[in-house]
Structure 1
Amino acid sequence: MIKFSILIANYNNGKYFRDCYNSLISQTYENWEVIIVDDASTDNSVEIIKSFIGKDPRFKLYYNTTNQGCGFTKRECMKYAEGEVCAYLDPDDALYPEAMERTVQEFLNENSIVAAYSQMMLCSEDLIPDKVFAGTKKFYNDRYFFNCPIQFAHFFTFKKEIYLKGSGINPMLTSAVDQDLYLKILEHGDVRYIKEPLYLYRLHSNGISQHSAKPKAKESFAKVIHDTMKRRGIKKINNQMVPETYTNSQEIYELLDYQTNKLHRLINKIKVTLNL
């Protein structure tokens, strides 16, 4: 039976952890563990987390002695993961009860895939479901795919053995960490799209990927794309030279403008259809 590792990087999200915890202990799948790494929270996160997990051996809590940021903390989570399949869950979000079971089935059905991802449900601050995030779609995975425009997000699950083949999460990143992970994992094989929401995404003012954090995330993502181009040995894209060194985000996004035009999207849609 496949073991599933849920990885939680926490920083000052203790007040939302109850919903996260309840969704984990309500899973229909039984063989799982939860790795939590607290990034030197300044609220009462650690006390709250401890009060919920108690002595449950399925939950393992670790700490950064100083605040290190999202990339470092998520990389730390992977150090402790023992499961064959892993996925990140933000402590202010939650999973549908069948999330793990539904995902594991994809890996059992097709052993060659390296990852599987689902749709996610956008929720209010009280985690009341509102609507399915429209940006998550099935895509055609090739070396020029840079998740632009966005075509998937949570719930992204991947094989630990595949993660270990690459350089892993960049510990220097403070945003676009997930996108960096997606692009690295997808260099090693095929991915399955689960066309149903398995992840509950909470929208609130403190979310690191929301509102004021977006300009910084856009800059980080441009750096991730450039790193990906260099890692994949891409010298030209759409007949334009890829810069040797990163200078600014506009230069990178201009290289990808062609990916947003109607013809390119139509071609990709045909590729996705033929790849069914």
Structure 2
Amino acid sequence: MINNKKDSRPLVSVITPSYNSSSFIKETIKSVQDQSYSNWEMIIVDDQSKDDSVHVIKSYTESDPRIKLIPLSQNVGAARARNVAIKEAKGHYIAFLDSDDLWMPTKLEEQVTFMQKGNLAFSFTSYSLMDEEGNPLDIEVKAPKTVDYYNLIGNTTIGCLTVMLDRLQFKQIEMPNIQPEDSALWLLLLRQGYQAHGLQKVLSKYRIVSNSTSRNKLKAAYRYWKLLRSQEKLNFVKANYYFSKYAYHAYNKNRGSRPTSIQNGGK
């Protein structure tokens, strides 16, 4: 439901890249529209989808002016698509939500309050996992209270769908064009001396899609190794040390769908 009353609370810009997302994007948009916090804009950048994603998204932009579609003329990848949205964003806060993931109804309200109370630059939350059909896997990735650069580099514990940034406290927010692009950005921000603060409550649902990069463990591992060597410029010994920690946490996170709770599990 659209709240037409003037909202004095800070505007939150929701950053959503879309590529062939017609199977899930309706549910994702609905989870934003159902937020108890109404002062948001959702900027969806379609990265040259081959399905009817654009048509589906347009049906929402026509009825809800808070939802904005930017169709790209060529395929540029998720990182650049997010950056297009970030440049268009007008919000005090920036939040990230991929086109197949979901938010709990109080996600924005609770996280904005959390950010304001501590005057935080960077926050994230716990999240749960669901399968491709949206069925819960009874797995939770618990947010630690704080994460600094050295915590994160060996453990990709921060779920992109949970992150909120105060754009007024950062000189620049731009995802590097290297995968995993979300972890690459978090490392760049934390390297500046910031800490990421965890709201220890499950407020998002991450969808495990069968053909996603994150499910191809060897490819994901190679890309993280490349990130450590090229962006973080670690020598072989340090890169191997942090990669071993990353692999350990990634293994624990993906060990199965039995009921469990993961502390500091990587996304």
Which TM class, normalised by the smaller chain length?
Answer: 0.7 to 0.9
Q: Provide the residue aligned with 1:176 in structure 2.
A: 180
Q: CA RMSD in A?
A: 2.5
> How many residues are paired up?
238
Q: Provide the residue aligned with 2:206 in structure 1.
A: 201
Please say if residues 226 and 252 of structure 1, whose CA atoms lie closer than 8 Å, have aligned partners that are also in contact.
Answer: no
Q: What's the CA shift string for 1:160-186, capped at 9, x where partnerless?
A: 2344x146211x32x301101211222
- How many angstroms does 1:251 deviate by? 6.0
Q: Provide the residue aligned with 2:126 in structure 1.
A: 119
2:232 match: secondary structure: helix
Q: What's the CA shift string for 1:128-187, capped at 9, x where partnerless?
A: 3232334x4316544433442332224111112344x146211x32x3011012112223
Which residue, 152, 162, 179 being the options, matches 1:155?
162
User: One-letter code of the match for 2:135?
Assistant: I
Cα distance in 2 between the residues matched to 1:188 and 1:77: 25
Q: What's the CA shift string for 1:222-249, capped at 9, x where partnerless?
A: 233335534xxxxxxxxxxx43xxxxxx
User: One-letter code of the match for 2:109?
Assistant: E
Of structures 1 and 2, the larger Rg is shown by 1
User: One-letter code of the match for 1:203?
Assistant: I
Please say if residues 114 and 185 of structure 1, whose CA atoms lie closer than 8 Å, have aligned partners that are also in contact.
Answer: no
> Structure 1-normalised TM-score?
0.77
- How many angstroms does 1:35 deviate by? 0.5
Q: What's the CA shift string for 1:52-102, capped at 9, x where partnerless?
A: 332421011102111111111111111111111111101111100000001
Q: Provide the residue aligned with 1:216 in structure 2.
A: 219
> Structure 2-normalised TM-score?
0.80
Structure 1 regions of 5+ residues with no counterpart?
231-241, 244-249, 263-276
Which residue, 136, 159, 167 being the options, matches 1:129?
136
User: One-letter code of the match for 2:166?
Assistant: K
Q: What's the CA shift string for 1:235-276, capped at 9, x where partnerless?
A: xxxxxxx43xxxxxx76641326757x9xxxxxxxxxxxxxx
Cα distance in 2 between the residues matched to 1:169 and 1:204: 22
Identity of aligned residues (%): 26
- How many angstroms does 1:103 deviate by? 0.4
User: One-letter code of the match for 2:27?
Assistant: D
Cα distance in 2 between the residues matched to 1:257 and 1:79: 32
